[in-house]
Amino acid sequence: MRSHLADFDLVVAADLPEALRLLVAGWRPIAGGTDLMVLFNAGRLPYRKLVGVAKLPELNAITVSSDMVTLGAAVTYSAIQRHSVMQSEFPLLCQAASWTGGAANQNRGTLGGNIVNASPAADSPPALLVYDVELEFISTSGSRRISYGEFHTGYKLMQSRPEELLVKIHLPPHRRKLNQYARKVGARKAQAISKVCFNAVAEVESSVIKHIRVALGSVAPIPLRCRKVEAALAGQTLSSTLIAHARDLIAQEIQPIDDIRSTARYRTAVTQNLLSEFLGQLL
Amino acid sequence: MSYRVVGSAVPRKEVASKVTGQADYVDDLRVPGMWYGITVRSTIARGRIQRIAFQDGVPWSEFTVVSAADIPGKNMVSMIVEDQPYLAADHVNHMHEPVLLLAHPDKNLLEKARALVKIDYEPLPTVFDIDSSLRGNPAIWGSDNVFKRYLMEKGDVDAAWSNAAHIVEGEYSTGAQEQLYIETNGMLATANPHDGVTVRGSMQCPYYVHKSLMALFGLPADKIRVIQQETGGAFGGKEEYPSMIGGHAALLAWKSGHPVKLIYDREEDMAATTKRHPSRTRHKTAIAADGTLLAMDIEFVIDGGAYATLSAVVLSRGTIHAPGPYRCPNVRVRSTAVATNSPPHGAFRGFGAPQSIFALELHIDKIARALHLTPEEFRQRNFLLTGDATGTSQIVRQPLDLPALQKRALTHAGYLEKKARFHLANQTAAIKKGIGFATFFHGAGFTGSGERYLQSVVTLQTTAAGRVEILSSMTEMGQGANTVLTQVAAETLGIPYEWVDIPRPDTSRAPNTGPTVASRTTMIVGRLVETASLDLRQKLKLPAECTPEQFAEACAICGPLAVSAQFQEPEGIFWDDRKYCGDAYGAYSWAVYVAEVSADTLTGEIQVDRFTALQEVGRVLHPVLAAGQIEGGVLQGIGFAIYEKVLFRDGAMVNNQMTNYIVPTSVDVPRIDVLFEEVPYEHGAMGAKGIGELPMDGPAPAILNALEDALGIPFDRVPLMAEDVLLAIGETSERRVA
Amino acid sequence: MANTPISLTVNCAAHTLIVPAMKRLLDVLREDLRLTGTKEGCGEGECGACSVILDGELVNSCLIPAKQADGARIVTIESSGLGVIQRAFAETGAAQCGICTPGMVMAASALLARNAKPSLEQIREGLAGNICRCTGYQKIFDAVETVSRQNP
C-alpha cells in the first residue's frame, strides 16, 4: 500500500445535500471504491479528500415505470444482475455487469463509478450507449440531464463539473423488438480488462434494418458509438455486400491503439469480425 | 500389525491451521519494537551511480539508511558465482537493482520516503535480448556475456547428415514467466553483533540463506539462524531470492538496532525478483528412411538477466532434457546462458526442462508431419526402451514402456475419435478444435554428482513419551513435504501418523538436508527418513512386527534419542562432469500429456477444453497430494503457454500488476484428468520418484500441437496470445486465397 | 488529517476503533484487530486473498476504506461458523500452500449462502475472483461440491 494515510481524508455523507456541499468544497465522491482504491493502493490517487456516497438512498434506488427505468448511480453490478427488469429489458447491461471483475468487485462496483471513471475499456458504457441512456447530475445549483452519447468528449474528459454528482441513469424502454448482442474479448474468461468490447442492438423487419446501435469499448479514447456505421446500415437491406461494406466502415471509425493489453491491428480485426458475426445473425 | 499410511490420503499435516487462517506467514508476525523496511531500487537498466540525494519531505533523522558501505562482511549474494551484490555500490546492471535500504517504525511513511530519494546515473549501453548478448557488444558481464556453456555429445552428429533420408530444422522460443506465488517475498530479521542474526520468512532453502548471511555479516555458522515461516507458494521463485531479501532485512535490523520486517508488495515483487529464463532452441534432425532418428543437433540458449544466479544449473537441466525420451545414436547439444540487463532470471518449476522440452516436442510433431507419419507413430518408432541409452548415454535400467503409456493416455483422452470428429466439424465451424500431445521425461534430484555433493542429513528425534520429530531443512510450501515425510517415518516406524511431528525448519535445530528444489524431497529425502527410521527401530531394539504401544514403551526405556541419516549415493551411478555424460539422474519420471483446445477464428482466442495428464512416477505416496501437484503444475504450464506474458520495456517488466499479468482463473481452467502408473524405483522412498516439476514440461507443447491440429498452423513460440493466432490465421487464409 | 472513530462487528464481536479514515479494511483487520487470517496478495482487488463478507456480501477488503466500513457486520476466516466448508477444504486437498485459502473459503461461503446447490459452472463463476496458483482449482471445486452435496 503506497499512499501515506495522513495525507488523505474520507467522510461518509449523511445525506445528499451534505455530499453536494462537500463537492463544492473540493471533495471528490467515492462509491464502491473499486477504481479509486486501486489507484490509492498504488500511490497514484490524485484526490486527497473523498466523500462516501455509496449508501445515499437517491443513488441506490431502482425505479421502473412504463416511461423509464431509472438506476441510482451507486447501484452495484450485483444489484443490476439480480433485477428482473434489467434482465428482461436491458440484458446487455446485465451481461456487462457480470463481466466487470469477480463477485467481490461486482458487489461493490457501481454503474455510476464506472461511468465517471471514464475508462475507454469499461464494460458497461457500450451497453449504455446502445440503450441511449440519459445521465442525471445534481449539484447545489440544481439538476440537469445529458444524453450519455454526448458525455465523453475525450480521453478521461467529460461533460461534467467537479461539483456535480452523477445521481441517476435513465434507461428509456425500447418500444421495439430488438436483437441484442454483446461480446467481450479479454485475456481470459473472467476478471479481464477488455481488448475489445462490442455491443449492438438492431430491429430488423423483412431483412431491413429499422433501427441499429453499435458501440464499443477499448477501441478509442472514449466508449465509442459508431454513428457512421449506424448511418450506413440504417434502412438498408441485409446482405453479404452490406456486411462487407460495414466491415470497412467500422475499421475507419474506430481509433484503436497499441497498449499494454493488445494491438491496434488485433482490435481492428476483432471489431470487424464481431460486427460480421452480429450482422450475420440478423440475416 | 503394521500401520499403513503411505499410499493413503491422510490429512495434510498443517491443514487445520491453513483452513482456519491461523497459519503464520511472515507478514502475520509482529514483535515488540519492530520497524519496517523498504528497498530503493535503480531506475535505469545499466549505469554508474553519480549522486544520491535525500530530498525534504520526511523526517530523515528518524530513518535508518543502509548502503553498500554499511555491509559488515562481503557485499555478495552467495550462489554459484559471486557476481551479484546485495546493494549496488557504484554500478547498476539492471532496472530495480537494490541500491539503498530504508527502515522506520511507521510502515506508512516508507513509500513517501522512497519517493524522495533521488539517484542520478550516468547511463551505459545496454543489452536486452539473446542475439545482442551473443554478439558481445557491449560486454555487460565478463568479457563475452556468457555465464556458462555446455557441450553434450553422443556419437558423431556431423557424420550423420549424409545418411539421412530426411533433414528437418526448426526454431522455437519461450518467454519469461513470473512465478506469482500468492504470498509475496518477505522477511523479518533481528540482528546485532553480540547475538548474531535471526531471519524468519518465506523461503525454500534455509541453508542457502544461512550461507549467504554468514558471508554478508562475516559471522560464523552458529551466529546465524534462519527459520522458515509458513510459505505461501514458491515454485522456485523463493529458491535464491530469499538470500537477497533476508540479507536486506538483516542489514536494516543490524544498523537500526530494531527487528525489521521487509515485505514486498505485488508490484515490486513482480518487477524486481526472478522469473523463468527466456529461451531459444534450434533443432536440426536427421531421420532415416524407416522413420528412426539418426542425429539430433540442438542449440539451446537461455537469457539469464544481469547476474549469474542459478543460470548454469538451469542451463544444465535444459541441456540434459533437450533430446528427450527418444533413442538417437548421435546427439549434440550446444547450450549457452547469456547475460542481459534484465533483472536476473532464476528458478521456476521445471528449471530449464520446460524450455527445451517445449522445443523438442513441437519439433517431433514437425518431423512426423514431414514424414507423413502420425505424431504417435513417429514417437512409437523412436521411444527409449529399457536398455536403450539416453542423450547423455545413460542406460535405461528400469522397466520402461512408453508405447503403452502413450496408448493409455491417448485412449483415455479419446484422441483418435476426437481428432477425426474435430476435423470434420472444423470444416464449417468458426471455433476450431484440435487435440495434441507431448511425451516427455523429468529427472528427479540434483544432476549427476549433485546429491553426493549436498551430503544431505535428516535427523529423527524421539521423546521419552514416544513422539518422534523429523528434523530437516526441507520446506513445506504447499506441495505436501511435511505430510509425505511424516507418512514415510510413521509407516517405517510402525506408529500412528499423529505421533510424528515435523517442526518448521530452523537452522539452529535442523540439519542441512539440502534445498527444497529439483523434485528431490520425496524421492531422496524421503529415503533418508526411511533409512533413519530403520536405524531408529534398531536402536530402540524393536522387533520386526511391533505395535505402537511397544514403540512407546521402548522410547520410555531408552529415553530421548537422536538418529541421523546422510545421503549415500546408490551404487552404479556414474556421471562425468567434464564430458557431460553418464547417469544424469538416479531416476526419471515419464509422462504423456494430451490437450484438447478450441481456437476462435473470429478473435484468435485459445482455450484448453480438457486435459489428460498421465505419468509414471515410481510410487504414489499420497494420492491427493500427488494429484494436486499434477493439477497445479498443469495449470501453470497452461499459463506458460497461452496466458502469461511478461512485457519488458527498457529492461523492466511493465505489466507488473495482477490486472495485467494474466494467470488462469477458475473459469479458464479445463477439467484435468490425472492418471498415475507406478514402476517402483529401488532408491527412492518406498519406490517413489519425483513429480513436483514434471507437470510443467508437458502442457505447452501439447497445447501448441493441438493448435496445429485445429488450425493447420505450426506455432513455434510461447506465450502464444490471441493476437499472434489471429494474425497467423489471417496470413494463412491470405496465402490460401492467393 | 485526524483519525476517526469507526464501529465494526467482526465475527459477532463488536469493536470501536480510532483509525485513519482511509486505512484499508484489510489493514484494520490485520493490524488493529490482529485478525491475520485475511491476506494481502495484490493490493488491486484482483486475487481475492483479502476477501471477507461485509453485510452479507463478498468483498475485497483491500479496496475498502475503514470509514466506509463503519457500522458494518463483517465475517472473516476466523469466524467459528465456517467449519463445514473448512472441513471440506481440508478433506479434499483444496488447500496446498494455504495463502489463498481464507479468501477462497469466504468466496465459497458467499456462493453457498446464495445458492446451496451450485452447478460446477456456477462454482467456477463464484470463485473467479479468487486466484490460486497451487491447486489448479480442481480440488477446490471438489470441496465446494462436497458441501453442496451435504446441503438439503
Domain spans in chain C, listed from the N-terminal domain onward: 3-75, 80-150
In chain B, which residues have their Cβ closer than 8 Å to the Cβ of A267? Answer: none
Characterise B706 by phi-psi region: left (phi > 0), alpha (psi -120 to 50), beta (else).
Answer: alpha
DSSP E strands in B21-63: the ranges are: 35-41, 47-54
Query: Which residue of B16, B636, B667 is in closest CB contact with C128?
Result: B667
Tell whether omega for the bond before B125 is within 30 degrees of 0, i.e. cis. no
Grid coordinates representing B409 are 493416455
Taking 50 as the threshold, does the pLDDT of residue B209 lie above it?
yes
> Which letter does DSSP use for residue B274 in this model?
-
Q: Cell match 537469457: residue? A: B303
Query: Which residue of A50, A104, A190 is in closest CB contact with C51?
Result: A104
Q: Which chains touch B (3 or more CB pairs under 8 A)?
A: A, C
Q: What is the pTM of this model?
A: 0.98
Same domain, A192 and A226: yes
Residue B734 is predicted with a pLDDT of 75
Q: Cell match 555478495: residue? A: B76
Q: What is Dmax (Cα atoms) for chain A?
A: 65
In chain A, which residues have their Cβ closer than 8 Å to the Cβ of C58? Answer: 103-104, 107
Q: Cell match 489463498: residue? A: C100
- Which of A171, A206, A237 is the last residue before a domain boundary? A171
Residue A55 dihedral angles phi and psi, to the nearest 5°:
-105, 0
Are the C-beta atoms of residues A239 and A272 closer than 8 Å to each other?
A: no
The helix/strand/coil state of B272 is helix
Q: Which chains touch A (3 or more CB pairs under 8 A)?
A: B, C
Same domain, A73 and A127: yes
For residue B280, the cross-strand partners are B173, B301
Same domain, A120 and A209: no
**Contact A187/C at CB under 8 A:** no
Taking 80 as the threshold, does the pLDDT of residue A147 lie above it?
yes
pLDDT digits (tens, 9 = 90+) for B443-471: 999 998 899 999 999 999 999 889 999 99
Probe site for chain B from C77, C133, C140, C147 (most B CB atoms < 10 A): C133
> Does C70 sit within 8 Å of A12, measured CB to CB?
yes
**Contact C41/A at CB under 8 A:** no
Kindly state the average pLDDT of the residues B600-606: 98
CATH architecture type of domain B15-23+450-566: 2-Layer Sandwich (3.30)
Taking 90 as the threshold, does the pLDDT of residue A163 lie above it?
yes
d(CA A39, CA C45): 11
Residue B544 is predicted with a pLDDT of 82
User: CA nearest B148: which of B5, B337, B404?
Assistant: B337
Kindly state the average pLDDT of the residues B159-180: 97
Residue of B nearest to C24 (CA): B108
Same domain, A235 and A273: yes
Are the C-beta atoms of residues B216 and B73 closer than 8 Å to each other?
A: yes
> Does C90 sit within 8 Å of B16, measured CB to CB?
yes
User: CA nearest B262: which of B271, B252, B272, B254?
Assistant: B252
**Amino acid identity for residue B7 in this structure:** G
Q: How confident is the model at residue B735 (pLDDT cuts 50, 70, 90)?
A: confident
Q: How confident is the model at residue B483 (pLDDT cuts 50, 70, 90)?
A: very high
Query: Which residue of A1, A188, A269 is in closest CB contact with B726?
Result: A269
Q: Write down the H helix ranges in B540-685.
A: 548-558, 623-642
> Does C46 sit within 8 Å of A9, measured CB to CB?
no
For the domain covering B32-123+185-263, report its CATH number.
3.90.1170.50
Domains B15-23+450-566 and B32-123+185-263 share a fold: no
Query: Which residue of B181, B477, B659 is in closest CB contact with C46?
Result: B659
Residue B737 is predicted with a pLDDT of 65
pLDDT digits (tens, 9 = 90+) for A96-132: 999 999 999 999 999 999 999 999 999 999 999 999 9
Taking 80 as the threshold, does the pLDDT of residue A47 lie above it?
yes
- Which of A124, A147, A171 is the last residue before a domain boundary? A171
**Positive or negative CA dihedral for B567, B568, B572, B576?**
positive
In chain B, which residues have their Cβ closer than 8 Å to the Cβ of C50? Answer: none
d(CA A115, CA A152): 9
Query: Which residue of A4, A102, A188 is in closest CB contact with B112?
Result: A4
In angstroms, the separation between the Cα of residue C50 and the nearest Cα of chain A is: 10
In angstroms, the separation between the Cα of residue A7 and the nearest Cα of chain C is: 6
Residue C151 is predicted with a pLDDT of 87
> Does B723 sit within 8 Å of A265, measured CB to CB?
yes
Taking 80 as the threshold, does the pLDDT of residue B477 lie above it?
yes
Name B173's Cβ contacts closer than 8 Å, sequence gap at least 6. B278, B279, B280, B281, B716, B717, B718
Lowest mean pLDDT among B20-29, B644-653, C1-10: C1-10
pLDDT digits (tens, 9 = 90+) for B361-385: 999 999 999 999 999 999 999 999 9
pLDDT digits (tens, 9 = 90+) for B521-567: 999 999 999 999 999 999 999 988 888 889 999 999 999 999 999 99
Does the ipTM surpass 0.90?
yes
> Does C128 sit within 8 Å of A104, measured CB to CB?
no
> Does C140 sit within 8 Å of B20, measured CB to CB?
no
Four-way CATH pick for C80-150: 3.40.1190.10, 1.10.150.120, 3.40.50.11440, 1.10.3720.10: 1.10.150.120
**Contact A190/C at CB under 8 A:** yes
Mean pLDDT, chain B, whole residue set: 97
d(CA A203, CA A186): 28
> Does B267 sit within 8 Å of A42, measured CB to CB?
yes
pLDDT digits (tens, 9 = 90+) for B10-46: 999 999 999 999 999 999 999 999 999 999 999 999 9
> Does A260 sit within 8 Å of B647, measured CB to CB?
yes
Query: Which residue of C23, C46, C70 is in closest CB contact with A191?
Result: C46
> C residues 51-80 near A, CB within 8 Å?
51, 57-60, 62-65, 67-68, 70
How many structural domains is chain A composed of?
Answer: 3
> B residues 417-476 near C, CB within 8 Å?
none
> B residues 319-378 near C, CB within 8 Å?
none
CATH number (domain holding residue A128): 3.30.465.10
d(CA A244, CA A251): 11
Contacts 24+ apart (CB under 8 A), A270-274: A270/A185, A270/A195, A270/A196, A270/B602, A270/B603, A270/B604, A270/B726, A271/A196, A271/A198, A271/A216, A271/A219, A272/A247, A273/B602, A273/B603, A274/A183, A274/A185, A274/A196, A274/A198, A274/B602, A274/B603
Q: How confident is the model at residue B1 (pLDDT cuts 50, 70, 90)?
A: very low
> Does A38 sit within 8 Å of C65, measured CB to CB?
no
What radius of gyration, in Å, describes the C-alpha atoms of chain A? 19
Name the burial class of residue A88, with classes exposed (0-12), middle (13-18) and buried (19+) by CB atoms within 10 angstroms of its CB: exposed
Domain boundaries, chain B: 15-23+450-566, 32-123+185-263, 279-447+581-737
Residue B192 is predicted with a pLDDT of 93
Interface of chain A toward chain B, CB-CB under 8 angstroms: 1-6, 38, 42-43, 102, 185, 187-193, 195-196, 260-263, 265-266, 269-270, 273-274, 276-277
In angstroms, the separation between the Cα of residue C4 and the nearest Cα of chain A is: 9
Contacts 24+ apart (CB under 8 A), A248-257: A250/A214, A250/A226, A250/A275, A252/A228, A253/A224, A253/A226, A253/A227, A253/A228, A253/A229, A254/A216, A254/A219, A254/A220, A254/A224, A254/A226, A255/A219, A255/A220, A255/A221, A255/A224, A256/A218, A256/A219, A256/A220
pLDDT digits (tens, 9 = 90+) for C20-30: 999 999 999 99
> B residues 619-638 near C, CB within 8 Å?
624-625, 627-628, 631-636
d(CA B352, CA B374): 28
Q: Rounded to whole angstroms, what are the CA distances from B690 to A14, A225, B322, B475, B531?
A: 62, 57, 19, 16, 18
Query: Which residue of A3, A5, A102 is in closest CB contact with C128?
Result: A102
Size of interface B-C (CB pairs under 8 A): 159
In chain B, which residues have their Cβ closer than 8 Å to the Cβ of C63? Answer: none
Neighbours of B575 (CB within 10 A): 19
| Residue A250 parent element (H or E) | helix A240-253
pLDDT digits (tens, 9 = 90+) for A237-260: 999 999 999 999 999 999 999 999
> Which letter does DSSP use for residue B692 in this model?
S
Residue of A nearest to C58 (CA): A104
What's the gap between Cα B323 and its chain centre?
Answer: 20
Residue B670 dihedral angles phi and psi, to the nearest 5°:
-80, 175
d(CA B150, CA B145): 15
Residue C1 is predicted with a pLDDT of 61
| Residue B491 parent element (H or E) | helix B481-493
> Does A12 sit within 8 Å of C60, measured CB to CB?
no
Residue B443 is predicted with a pLDDT of 98
Q: Encode A137-156 in three state secondary structure.
A: EEECCEEEEEEHHHCEEECC
CATH architecture type of domain C3-75: Roll (3.10)
Probe site for chain C from A2, A4, A10 (most C CB atoms < 10 A): A10
Neighbours of B524 (CB within 10 A): 28
The top-level CATH class assigned to B279-447+581-737 is alpha beta
Probe site for chain B from A188, A276, A278 (most B CB atoms < 10 A): A188
Query: Which residue of C42, C86, C134 is in closest CB contact with B632?
Result: C134
Size of interface A-B (CB pairs under 8 A): 72
User: Which domain does A15 fall in, by range?
Assistant: 5-52
In chain C, which residues have their Cβ closer than 8 Å to the Cβ of A1? Answer: 24, 27, 43, 62
d(CA B205, CA A134): 60
**Contact A14/C at CB under 8 A:** no
In angstroms, the separation between the Cα of residue B163 and the nearest Cα of chain A is: 46
In angstroms, the separation between the Cα of residue A61 and the nearest Cα of chain B is: 31
Residue of A nearest to B644 (CA): A187
**Contact A33/C at CB under 8 A:** yes
